[in-house]
Amino acid sequence: MKDKIIKITSRYQNDRHRLMDILIDIHDLQGYVSDTDIEVLAQQLGMSEVEINETVTFYHFFSKKPRGKYNIFLNNSITAFMRGREKVKKTLEEECGTKIGSVSPDGLFGLYSTSCMGMNDQGPSAIINDKVFTNLTPYRVRKLIADLKSGKTLDEAIYESTGDGNNSDPDVRSMVFNNIRKRMILLERNYKKFEVIRNLLIKHSPDEIVGIVEESNLRGRGGAGFPTGLKWRFGRRVEADHRVIICNADEGEPGTFKDRVLLTEFPDLVFEGMVIAAYATSADIGLVYLRYEYRYLYKYLNRILDEMRKQNLLGENIAGVKHFNFDIRIQLGAGAYVCGEESALIESLEGKRGEPRDKPPFPVQNGYLGYPTIVNNVETLAAAVRIVKNGADWFKGFGTTDSLGTKLLSVSGDCKFPGIYEVEWGTSIREVMEMSGADDVQAIQVGGPSGVMISVKDIDSLGTTDLMKWYKPSGMMVAQKTFDRRLSYSDLPTGGSIMIFNSQRDLLNEVVMNFMDFFIEESCGSCSTCRNLPFLMKKKLEKIVSGHGVRKDIDDLLNWGRIIKVSRCGLGQTAANPVVSSILNFRYLYEQHVKAMADFDNVFDMEKSVEAANNFVGRKTILHHV
Amino acid sequence: MEKKIIATTSLAGCFGCHMSFLDIDERILDLIELVEFNKSPIDDIKNFTKQVDIGLIEGGCCNSENIELLKLFRENCNILVSFGECAIMGGLPALRNGIPIEECLQEAYIDGPTVGENKQKILPNNEELPMLLDKVYPCHEIVKIDYFLPGCPPRAELIWNALVALVTGKEMELPYEVVKFD
Amino acid sequence: MSTTIRFKIDGKEIIAEKGQTIVEAAKANGVYIPTLCNFEGLPPKGCCRMCTVKLNKRYMTACTTPAADGMEVESDTPEINDFRKGIIELLFVSGNHFCPACEKSGNCELQALAYRFKMMVPRFPFLFPQKGLDASSPKLIKEQNRCIMCKRCIKAIKDDEGRSYFAYQYRGNKLEVILDKKLGKEISDALARKAMDTCPVGSIIYKELGYYQPIGKRKYDKEPIGSDIEVQQ
Ligand SMILES: Cc1cc2nc3c(=O)[nH]c(=O)nc-3n(C[C@H](O)[C@H](O)[C@H](O)COP(=O)(O)O)c2cc1C
Ligand code: SF4
Ligand code: SF4
Ligand code: FES
Ligand code: FES
């Protein structure tokens, strides 16, 4: 193994910044990385072993223990549970002969849980050796596992049929479906590939391109909504030898999958956006940070990049523009939601654990390897192409005054037609419900667990929607508003995740608990607050749900939810949102559980707590009551 | 002024906190003017004879008897005070909290180097004995506790200041040197 | 060009040098902003969030944020102090801090902050997590029960080639800080002592050294943490 590792590291010039690639290559080879491998790596890269170990143990898809021949990562997002995940899990465990979190005795199967993998509209889904399996049912699981046991390859086993559109491309061949339900200016089919690079760049100076994007008022589609033109201008302004454009394709917010669809159907559009951004900011380094869950697109995306290189749309003097040199490399993540945060993403790109940086300095000042770095979401880059092509005025014809253009919504949960909806900004939540065929709605989660939860109380008789914005990372709380809130940066900003819950759903026990598990699992752990509070809050919530809560527990949760807002990055700052917002909007659910009269209950159960010792010494439990 | 009634007890503690209480020295005479002791090792009254104003609890809960006694105190005292680290967070007895109880028993009665003769490998299981809990619990995780006096033991000054405040109803003085965790 | 900047902390005028962080500037002006993961001479990394202040309605860590002209910083307010106390409490319940038996007691910054903020009992339940102890180095004990993941040792203790002796392991609430087995075996006496002194709590213990100062003579027995900064004025 030692020689093989040395071969791998030399493929990357023993560059420690490529540690992610090196570790992925080692996993491809033997499925895990052992302590002796780490020893070799440390020597080759000039690092200490604990430093290598730090990266290895951070990412969910890396392992220090041998895994199975087939490793099944079953998705655990809330909508998967709503579509029968428990049964699927049970069947998997039975058929594979092992429990989630372990490897079967014959070494054939490793079973694991994994956070939302961008397939909420077709869950429960699983990743098996980098391939995606969607719409799992106990029947399909039984068949699949039987096939694998009988020696069929994954490719033979799965593909009853491949998905729509480019999901059937020979380099993709996945069973994933795009489920595009509504197309507007971004998803419309009339896209002529690379027109802007070929024809327009030569006509405009970089400054003019930045100007067009600024004029259009395009704002980041990754969730934070930072004005894109301004970000580009910042990046341009900083003196540096190199500048970096990063396409953020980490898409980790539970419930979003629109970047996956864009990358499947319009990869050229996204890459063209990167080239335009590079031209506008004089950047020469391009990186796509692709979440590991989307590895099934890796080969296909690289093929497009190769085609672009052949056509001189990447490389040197691109499209005949003198001194415009730029190329793109795709970097795979390895399973960590926080790596979607731009500075954590940069750390990860540098081969380190995905721990967000303190800001300031911002990535535009000091990013990848210290160079000014512009991080943009997949959708933002795609929109930029349309804007440069058609002009800012055209773009301004869509949306509302403060939120121009359209937004891709990833709709999932209790509705008839989950999938991708491209809507104009300003569309109301009610319209989204109607479009997606959601008749029975108790609550809607806008923007994923860290976003906004909306309650729809008795919508027919009241005729009003009871909406309240979760407080934003800045600590601002917006007063309750009524009826038909609209998706916009000033009212209901969103990265596009819309999850719908019908009246049968147990919001506290199922939904909020699931979201808290997500934050507990995904925190980088660096902040004292974010490392500890989600866990403590979940424990408190369990106490309440189990009937042992008192009024003070609700107040405690609100107080704790304020403390966590001092965390470093958006993950920690919003990690209490599921609890806090459900208290604000669904207080009656909490009131139902807590004891109205008691002011103290700490769940202590004498019988349970003496059980272990009594069993060990061999005596009966006899309780004397005082 | 009517005298306040005080009760004290030691659960899973070492009596260090009680010793520290006695460290208020001659002020104990002033205290006697202000309070009357009920159930407490200080006067050796074994059972509550009336409702008590202030109960002082030393030690956390490591067995069923501790729990019962603590609940008894909660019922009979208007105000309950955890005094000492053991009562507040388990203290040294809680060092076992990270270790499964089976291992603790095995080590204490069978494998440990200080066990001596235990050829029959007897584990204490007489019905008369209190039952061991899975871990040592801070008192406020069992019953409602009103005030906390940290320290191992709490400084005599702290105990004195707290009692004076409770008895007179005045704000408690908390100079820097009196609040310590060791 | 003038390199002097002026700004305010809780209304008090602060004069600072350009490039100083808010914590540094405050200190130079006799204002104490509580810190824990910050360590003079090491690059700041906002891990503990103790130094949180409010700036333009946003919470910022004063140890990482450069001071700038005209800033209005809120620090010593009931809101912020409640957060700070909450953070101290979090660190107590998420580890196993048996102060009475700890070598660092009296010299521990976490404990000292708890004294300063008059923590009588944490508002959170004690978690009593199962954590171990690594005594494999001949010089050091790494006591995981007490580690608060402040990252100071990771940043401070490196060999000649810049390799860290300590590093994080895992993530989220499973996070821990471990000592490199190989480097730990050969660590020099001086570096081992430096490691112990860098650690704000009793998580890095130099072997065979402990309880060497009598109670009453330790760093925080008599004066609260930060009082050295506050008296400077
Ligand atoms: C915890 C966390 C996760 C994030 N995940 C993503 C993500 O998956 N994709 C994304 O584009 N932005 C994500 N962001 C936002 C990025 O930090 C950044 O703002 C964005 O990529 C900028 O691109 P934009 O301006 O085009 O939106 C995340 C932020 C946080 C705090
Ligand atoms: S808020 Fe959470 S995820 Fe973000 S840096 Fe802090 S610990 Fe890491
Ligand atoms: S060992 Fe000490 S210095 Fe290192 S992270 Fe833990 S508490 Fe900080
Ligand atoms: S008995 Fe008093 S502190 Fe332990
Ligand atoms: S001292 Fe600033 S975050 Fe720790």
CATH number at residue B153: 3.40.50.700
- For chain A, what percent of residues have pLDDT higher than 70? 93
Q: Are C167 and A565 a contacting pair at CB < 8 A?
A: no
Which ipTM score applies to this complex? 0.97
Q: Provide the CA A574 distance to its chain's centre, in angstroms.
A: 14
Average pLDDT, chain C: 96
Q: Are A528 and C46 a contacting pair at CB < 8 A?
A: no
Yes or no: say if A385 and A280 are a contact pair by the CB < 8 Å rule.
no
- Tens of pLDDT, residues A564-583: 999 999 999 999 999 998 89
User: How distant is the Cα of A483 from the closest Cα of chain C, in angstroms?
Assistant: 29
User: How distant is the Cα of A619 from the closest Cα of chain B, in angstroms?
Assistant: 6
Protein residue whose Cα sits closest to atom 8 of ligand 2: A524
Both tokens assigned to A153: 């390859």
| Closest residue by Cα to residue A451 from A411, A505, A499, A506 | A499
pLDDT higher than threshold 50 for residue A626: no
**DSSP-based three-state secondary structure for A411:** strand
Q: What confidence score (pLDDT) does residue A160 get? A: 67
β-bridge partners, C90: none
Please state the atom number of ligand 2 nearest to the C-alpha of residue A572.
1
Global pTM exceeds 0.90: yes
Element (H, E) at A421: strand A419-424
Is some CB atom of chain B closer than 8 A to the CB atom of C124? no
Set out the domains of chain A in order of their start, with CATH numbers.
2-56 (no CATH), 70-176 (3.40.30.10), 194-396 (3.40.50.11540), 406-593 (3.10.20.600)
Q: Which of C97, C113, C147, C165 to mutate to test the pocket of ligand 3 (most atoms within 8 A of CB)?
A: C147
Tell whether ligand 3 has an atom less than 6 A from the beta carbon of residue C201: yes
Split at pLDDT 50, 70, 90, the class of A434 is very high
Q: At the topology level of CATH, where does C8-76 sit?
A: Ubiquitin-like (UB roll) (3.10.20)
Per-residue pLDDT of chain B (182 residues; tens, 9 = 90+): 689 999 999 999 999 999 999 999 999 999 999 999 999 999 999 999 999 999 999 999 999 999 999 999 999 999 999 999 999 999 999 999 989 999 999 999 999 988 888 888 899 999 999 999 999 999 999 999 999 999 999 999 999 999 999 999 999 989 999 999 99
- Distance, in Å, from the CA atom of A142 to the CA atom of A138, rounded to the nearest integer, reads 6
Asked if residue B148 is part of any domain, the answer here is yes
Report the separation in Å between the CA atom of C36 and the middle of ligand 5, taken as the mean of its atom positions.
Answer: 6
- The dihedral through the CA atoms of C114, A360, A50, C188 has a sign that is negative
Both tokens assigned to A391: 């002009």
Find the mean pLDDT for residues A167-178.
95
Identify the closest residue of chain C to A603 by CA–CA distance: C125
The residue to which tokens 């903020």 are assigned: C117
**Strands lying side by side in the sheet with A327-332:** A327-332, A285-290, A244-249, A373-377
Q: Are A609 and B134 a contacting pair at CB < 8 A?
A: yes
Strands B147-149 and A126-128: unpaired
Task: Based on DSSP, count helices (H) and strands (E) in chain B, helices before strands.
Answer: 6, 7
Please state the atom number of ligand 2 nearest to the C-alpha of residue A529.
7
Find the mean pLDDT for residues A333-345.
97
- Tens of pLDDT, residues C30-49: 999 999 999 999 999 999 99
Q: At the topology level of CATH, where does C85-206 sit?
A: Alpha-Beta Plaits (3.30.70)
Yes or no: say if A250 and A339 are a contact pair by the CB < 8 Å rule.
yes
Spans of chain C, pLDDT less than 50: none
Domain locations along chain C? 8-76, 85-206
Of B88, B91, B182, the CB nearest to C121: B88
β-bridge partners, A404: A399
Query: Which residues, at least 6 apart from B52, have a Cβ–Cβ distance to it below 8 Å?
Result: B5, B6, B7, B38, B39, B76, B77, B78
Is some CB atom of chain C closer than 8 A to the CB atom of B176? yes
Beta strands in A33-101 (DSSP E): 70-75
Please state the atom number of ligand 5 nearest to the C-alpha of residue C51.
2
Both tokens assigned to A537: 């809050």
Split at pLDDT 50, 70, 90, the class of A585 is confident
Give per-residue burial for A463-483: e unless 16+ CB within 10 Å, then b.
eebbbbbbbbbeeeeeeeeee
**DSSP-based three-state secondary structure for A358:** coil
Q: What confidence score (pLDDT) does residue A451 get? A: 67
| Closest residue by Cα to residue A576 from A544, A537, A541 | A537
Which chain C residues are closer than 8 Å to B150 by Cβ?
Answer: 119-121
Q: Which of C38, C131, C150 to mutate to test the pocket of ligand 3 (most atoms within 8 A of CB)?
A: C150
Burial class (CB in 10 A: 0-12, 13-18, 19+), A383: buried
Burial class (CB in 10 A: 0-12, 13-18, 19+), B46: exposed
Q: Are C172 and A475 a contacting pair at CB < 8 A?
A: no
Total structural domains within chain B = 1
Neighbours of C126 (CB within 10 A): 24
Q: What confidence score (pLDDT) does residue B115 get? A: 87
Asked if residue B104 is part of any domain, the answer here is no
Identify the closest residue of chain B to C130 by CA–CA distance: B98
Is some CB atom of chain C closer than 8 A to the CB atom of A533? yes
Tell whether ligand 5 has an atom less than 6 A from the beta carbon of residue C50: yes
- The dihedral through the CA atoms of B6, B7, B10, B15 has a sign that is positive
Find the mean pLDDT for residues A580-602.
89
Q: What confidence score (pLDDT) does residue A89 get? A: 98
The three-point CA angle C104-C106-C112 to 5° equals: 105
Q: How many CA atoms lie within 13 A of A376 on its CB side?
A: 31
| Domain containing residue B166 | 4-96+134-179
Tell whether ligand 1 has an atom less than 6 A from the beta carbon of residue A93: no
- The torsion angles phi and psi of C12, rounded to 5 degrees, stand at -85, 130
Return the CA Rg of chain A.
Answer: 25
Split at pLDDT 50, 70, 90, the class of A544 is very high
Q: Are C163 and A360 a contacting pair at CB < 8 A?
A: no
pLDDT higher than threshold 60 for residue A477: no
Average pLDDT, chain A: 91
Yes or no: say if A115 and A154 are a contact pair by the CB < 8 Å rule.
no
Count of residues making up chain B: 182
DSSP-derived secondary structure for chain C: ---EEEEEETTEEEEEETT-BHHHHHHHTT-----SS--TTS-----S-TTEEEETTEEEETTTSBP-TT-EEE-SSHHHHHHHHHHHHHHHHHTT--GGG-TTTTT-HHHHHHHHTT-SS-SSPP------EE--SSSEEEEGGG-----HHHHH-B-TT--BSEEEES-GGG-EEEE-HHHHHT--HHHHHHHHHH-SSTTEEETT--S-S-TTSSTTTSS-TTHHHHHT-
Burial class (CB in 10 A: 0-12, 13-18, 19+), B84: buried
Asked if residue B170 is part of any domain, the answer here is yes
Q: How many CA atoms lie within 13 A of A317 on its CB side?
A: 2
Split at pLDDT 50, 70, 90, the class of A449 is confident
Find the mean pLDDT for residues A457-476.
27
β-bridge partners, B40: B45
Neighbours of A562 (CB within 10 A): 16
Burial class (CB in 10 A: 0-12, 13-18, 19+), C68: middle
SS3 for B67-133, per residue? HHHHHHHHHHEEEEEEECHHHHHCCHHHHHHHCCHHHHHHHHHHHCCCCCCCCCCCCCCCCCCCCEE
Tell whether ligand 5 has an atom less than 6 A from the beta carbon of residue C102: no
Is some CB atom of chain B closer than 8 A to the CB atom of C89? no
Please state the atom number of ligand 5 nearest to the C-alpha of residue C44.
2
Q: Provide the CA A383 distance to its chain's centre, in angstroms.
A: 20
- For chain C, what percent of residues have pLDDT higher than 90? 95
Task: Name the residue type at position A571.
Answer: L
Burial class (CB in 10 A: 0-12, 13-18, 19+), C42: middle
Task: Name the residue type at position A314.
Answer: L
Both tokens assigned to A280: 């506008």
Which contacts (CB < 8 Å, 24+ apart) does range C99-102 have? C99/B85, C99/B152, C99/B181, C99/B182, C100/B85, C100/B91, C100/B92, C100/B152, C100/B181, C100/B182, C101/B92, C101/B95, C102/B182, C102/C146, C102/C202
Yes or no: say if B59 and B87 are a contact pair by the CB < 8 Å rule.
yes
- Distance, in Å, from the CA atom of A48 to the CA atom of C184, rounded to the nearest integer, reads 11
| Closest residue by Cα to residue A249 from A236, A238, A258, A240 | A258
Of B92, B97, B179, the CB nearest to C115: B179
Yes or no: say if A76 and A92 are a contact pair by the CB < 8 Å rule.
no
- Tens of pLDDT, residues A205-242: 999 999 999 999 999 998 888 899 999 999 998 899 99
Yes or no: say if A436 and A500 are a contact pair by the CB < 8 Å rule.
yes
- Tens of pLDDT, residues A74-117: 999 999 999 999 999 999 999 999 999 999 999 999 999 999 99
Q: Which bound ligand lies closest to the C-alpha atom of C176?
A: 3
Q: How many CA atoms lie within 13 A of A615 on its CB side?
A: 11
Identify the closest residue of chain A to C151 by CA–CA distance: A526
| Closest residue by Cα to residue A571 from A532, A522, A533 | A522
- Tens of pLDDT, residues A122-158: 999 999 999 999 999 999 999 999 999 999 998 887 6
Q: What confidence score (pLDDT) does residue A214 get? A: 96
Protein residue whose Cα sits closest to atom 1 of ligand 2: A572
- Tens of pLDDT, residues A13-30: 999 999 999 999 999 999
Of A602, A611, A624, the CB nearest to B142: A602
Q: What confidence score (pLDDT) does residue C231 get? A: 67
Identify the closest residue of chain A to C127 by CA–CA distance: A536
